[in-house]
């Protein structure tokens, strides 16, 4: 009887074994890439805001301190988004008619709050506390990046749990002197390992066990 298959089917069949494995591997790789990418984490994404507020201008340009607007960053979990009043402190004097600021004036007029869109949005089961991080020498820029150079703020880190744990497992890699916390331009010194280790002691930063206990962030 005639051959069912052409003879070089053998080669194909052998190849197919390799091919299938390769394909599965590739598929896994794609998934992993997507998962860690900004598409999923929102890292470095452009976020629509009601007002084109430029940190680059206000912080970088005019050198306004973070705490002028983010008032509760040192004593609360929430850094606070400034009330319209804060904007109007200046903008009742300058740029009083700038069309771009109309939403602000409107909000102040009829008391309807502005609606900003969260840029750094942790899942609701994660409890991050700004106060303690600032107090223990974690700089704003460490997580938020060079906000002073961002015309529009975007999410700097991927905010994955592994990213949090990297610092919670070895804080000495990231902590800086308290007085430098709000310094956007601060660069980690060459001897960060030693400096970090000293600061961890000096600031009584918790043991790794304590920093990595589940209930430290999840409740």
Region 85-114 residues binding other proteins, contact defined as CB under 8 A: 85, 107-108, 111-114
Tokens of 74: 């040192």
Determine contact, residues 79/88, Cβ cutoff 8 Å. Answer: no
Which CB sits closer to other proteins, 113 or 190? 113
Instruction: Tell me which residue has tokens 């680059």.
Output: 56
8 binds other proteins (CB under 8 A): no
The residue range among 95-103, 138-146, 155-163, 171-179 that interacts with other proteins, by the rule CB under 8 A, is 155-163
125 binds other proteins (CB under 8 A): yes
52 binds other proteins (CB under 8 A): no
177 binds other proteins (CB under 8 A): no
67 binds other proteins (CB under 8 A): no
Tokens of 5: 């298959």
CA distance 219 to 211: 14
Determine contact, residues 120/70, Cβ cutoff 8 Å. Answer: no
Map residue 118 onto helix, strand or coil. Answer: coil
CB atoms within 10 A of CB 173: 13
Determine contact, residues 107/50, Cβ cutoff 8 Å. Answer: no
Q: Minimum CB separation from other proteins for residue 144, in Å?
A: 15
Selection from 72, 77, 202 nearest residue 137 by Cα = 202
210 binds other proteins (CB under 8 A): yes
18 binds other proteins (CB under 8 A): no
Tokens of 46: 């452009």
The binder of other proteins chosen from 5, 11, 63, 99 (CB under 8 A)? 5
4 binds other proteins (CB under 8 A): yes
Map residue 164 onto helix, strand or coil. Answer: helix
Determine contact, residues 176/185, Cβ cutoff 8 Å. Answer: no
Map residue 128 onto helix, strand or coil. Answer: coil
The residue range among 54-62, 115-123, 143-151, 193-201 that interacts with other proteins, by the rule CB under 8 A, is 115-123
The binder of other proteins chosen from 84, 142, 155, 156 (CB under 8 A)? 84
Interface with other proteins by CB under 8 A: which residues? Answer: 1, 4-5, 9-10, 13, 28, 31-32, 35-36, 39-40, 42, 47, 72, 75-78, 80-85, 107-108, 111-118, 121, 123-127, 129, 131-132, 135-136, 160-162, 165-166, 204, 206-207, 209-210, 213-216, 218-219
């Amino acid at each position: 009887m005639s051959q069912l298959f052409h003879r070089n089917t053998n080669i194909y069949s052998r190849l197919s074994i390799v091919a299938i494995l390769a394909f599965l591997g590739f598929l896994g790789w794609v998934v992993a890439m997507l998962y860690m990418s900004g598409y999923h984490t929102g890292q470095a994404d452009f976020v629509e805001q009601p007002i084109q507020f430029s940190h680059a201008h206000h912080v970088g340009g005019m050198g306004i301190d973070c705490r002028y607007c983010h008032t509760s960053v040192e004593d609360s979990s929430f850094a606070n988004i400034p009330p319209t009043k804060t904007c109007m402190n200046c903008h009742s004097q300058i740029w009083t008619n700038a069309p771009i600021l109309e939403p602000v004036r409107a909000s102040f007029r009829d008391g309807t709050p502005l609606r900003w869109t969260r840029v750094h949005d942790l899942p609701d089961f994660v409890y991050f506390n700004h106060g303690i991080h600032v107090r223990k020498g974690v700089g704003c820029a460490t997580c938020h990046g060079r906000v002073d150079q961002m015309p529009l703020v975007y999410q700097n880190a991927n905010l994955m749990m592994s990213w949090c744990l990297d610092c919670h497992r070895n804080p000495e890699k990231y902590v800086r002197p308290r007085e430098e916390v709000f310094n956007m331009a601060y660069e980690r010194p060459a001897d960060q390992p030693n400096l970090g280790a000293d600061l961890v002691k000096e600031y009584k930063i918790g043991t790794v066990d304590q920093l990595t206990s589940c209930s430290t962030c999840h409740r």
